[in-house]
């Protein structure tokens, strides 16, 4: 992927859609995190790691293809920033959107050449349009020299 092709993806918008976290998903996620489920149908905050990407409307494989990942092993998680304006609730539909907000070609002494891609995924209340939560992950696409 050339630098020009990479830069052309800034502003790319994911299809988006509606996403919700089912009770059983929340129970399993809480179990993995080693804590009991939160009361009153509140969702464990770690759900934001996957529900935002799922709601963006593209699968992981499709995102890998978009950025021409050389293999499944050639993608690493970088940073992950999140923000909650409200608590996520089980079985509540949220309007989800996603886009590419930044790309940067880098060189690491350990990992070699890579592209750092930052996404913005948002969940909004479908009635009010108010932001409920957002995730801003950066993924590293390792490249062969």
Which residues neighbour 25 within 8 Å (Cβ) at sequence distance 6 or greater?
47
CATH of the domain at 12: 3.10.129.10
CA distance 97 to 104: 22
pLDDT of the residue at 81: 92
pLDDT of the residue at 144: 86
pLDDT of the residue at 123: 95
pLDDT of the residue at 60: 84
Residue 135 has pLDDT above 80, yes or no: yes
Domain of 132? Answer: 3-142
Read off φ and ψ for residue 90, nearest 5 degrees. -60, 150
* Averaged pLDDT for residues 81-96: 94
**The sheet that has 131-142: what strands, in order across it?**
17-19, 94-108, 112-124, 131-142, 75-84
The total of structural domains in the chain comes to: 1
In the chain, % of residues over pLDDT 70:
100
pTM, whole model, 2 decimals? 0.88
């Amino acid at each position: 992927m050339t630098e020009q092709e990479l830069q052309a993806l800034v502003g790319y918008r994911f299809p988006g859609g509606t996403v919700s976290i089912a009770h059983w998903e929340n129970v399993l996620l809480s179990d993995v995190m080693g804590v009991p489920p939160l009361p009153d149908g509140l969702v464990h905050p770690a759900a934001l790691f996957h529900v935002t990407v799922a709601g963006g409307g593209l699968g992981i494989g499709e995102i890998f293809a978009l950025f021409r990942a050389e293999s499944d092993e050639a993608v690493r998680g970088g940073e992950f920033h999140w923000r909650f304006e409200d608590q996520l609730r089980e079985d509540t539909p949220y309007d989800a959107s996603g886009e590419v907000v930044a790309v940067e070609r880098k060189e690491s002494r350990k990992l070699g050449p890579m592209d750092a891609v930052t996404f913005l995924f948002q969940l909004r209340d479908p009635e009010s349009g108010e932001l409920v939560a957002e995730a801003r992950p950066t993924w590293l696409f390792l490249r062969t020299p």
